[in-house]
Amino acid sequence: MKIMEVLLNIEQIIFFITTFFCIYQVVIIFFTLSKEPKKEKVIDKKHKFMAVISARNEENVISNLIESLKNQDYPEELLDIYVIADNCTDNTAKVAKDAGAIVLERYSETKKSKGYALEWFFDYILTNKPDEYDAFCVFDADNIVSKNFYSKMNEKLCIGEKIVQGYRDIKNAEDTWVTGNYAIFYWMMNRFYHYTRYKIGLSPLINGTGFMVAMSIIKENKGWHTKTLTEDIEFSINSIAAGYTIGWAKDAIVYDEQPLGFEQSWRQRMRWSVGHVQCLKCCMPKLLSAKNFNASTIDAIIYLLGMPILWISLLLFAVSLVKFIFLPMNILGYAARIIFGIVLAILQALAVVVIERKGVKRLFKGIIMYPVFLISWFFINILAIFNTNIEWKQISHVRSVDIKEMN
């Protein structure tokens, strides 16, 4: 029985840790109903922007993005569109140039991720055009962008926000249950993580694409320097550690394409999870030693600890499994917990689809299959511990969608 007592004590400690983490997230979510803060302009100006697109073999989709950028309700002379044709073996560079973009071609056998492409690009800009632009927005080649994107980002610059994430939506949410799951996940993050934190003065995170950064930050950092597989999270955490609070622009919408199949999805999410582990190692020391240690710093620390908390929850599962084997337990009780978790995940998916007004009928497959998406991600996060040397691999994009189809 002493072994069982030890196991019970371990279980209680692990349960306390995971419960604290869950309660913290739930408390934050309650502030979803709070009002967005109103900020006064610190400058009234039409800023000059870049659109920066890193593209590898994206000839099928990149022209739609460039078209949506050229049709902005923002002065055309204040927006230059740059495409980094990164290790392309197709006609991406030609298609982008014909569509009206400024194309820079890059080749590297060893440095192939988006972070390296951005580092190379901003070295070029700081050398050749250091004072030409006030800010830039980063997009993936498969995106399309709402007509008011740059007008909204200009408003954010005018109220003094230097790093801002736009609303990330999905252009192929109805294609498969996998794309539906991605859509539900991003809508949930938009509503309950990023926007809620912005409302209460904490820092959202930039989210891969559709974000704006002031050039003053790139000059201060002497370029773009990220080394992990998740350059967006790394840049976000480093910026928070440096004292910046990231903004949120709910009306600046970027539509993204997501993988159709489960295998591609697994590979992409594995890369994200490995990148999170890499960020935990390289960014946590910067947060802990930050000069401007504040609520956003603490929140970012808790975010990075999400992965270790997941690993701890695996220990809780292991302890419960040992108890189940060696102690007479109620099998129906365990089954009830599993069923409750599945139903809860489905209800969460349903709720966010309703709140975001995306249409329950068209997302039905995604709603029902959302528990599978979450459970698979649990195992991906565990396996990420043992796959730290994973390499970036391209996800094929073939869904050619015009911005008019999203309105």
Neighbours of 293 (CB within 10 A): 14
Asked if residue 327 has pLDDT above 70, the reply is no
Residue 307's pLDDT is what?
84
Token pair of 204 as six digits: 């959202």
Domain coverage including residue 356:
1-407
Q: CB–CB of 232/206 below 8 Å? A: yes
pLDDT (tens digit per residue) in 47-92 = 999 999 999 999 999 999 999 999 999 999 999 999 999 999 999 9
Residue 61's pLDDT is what?
93
b (16+ CB within 10 A) / e for 139-175: bbbbbbbbebbbbbbbbbbbeebbbbbbbbbbbbbbb
Q: Looking at residues 303-320, what average pLDDT do you find?
A: 77
Asked if residue 331 has pLDDT above 70, the reply is no
pLDDT band, residue 407 (cuts 50/70/90): low
What is the total count of domains within the chain?
A: 1
Residue count of the chain: 407
Distance CA(230)–CA(74), nearest Å, equals: 30
Residue with tokens 């071609």: 105
Cβ neighbors of 71 (< 8 A, separation 6 or more) are: 147, 403
Residue with tokens 């582990």: 277
Token pair of 121 as six digits: 């690009």
pTM of the model: 0.89
- Residue 203 sits in a domain whose CATH number is 3.90.550.10
pLDDT (tens digit per residue) in 8-52 = 666 677 777 777 888 888 888 888 888 888 888 999 999 999 999
In terms of phi and psi (left: phi > 0; alpha: psi -120 to 50; beta: otherwise), the region of 212 is beta
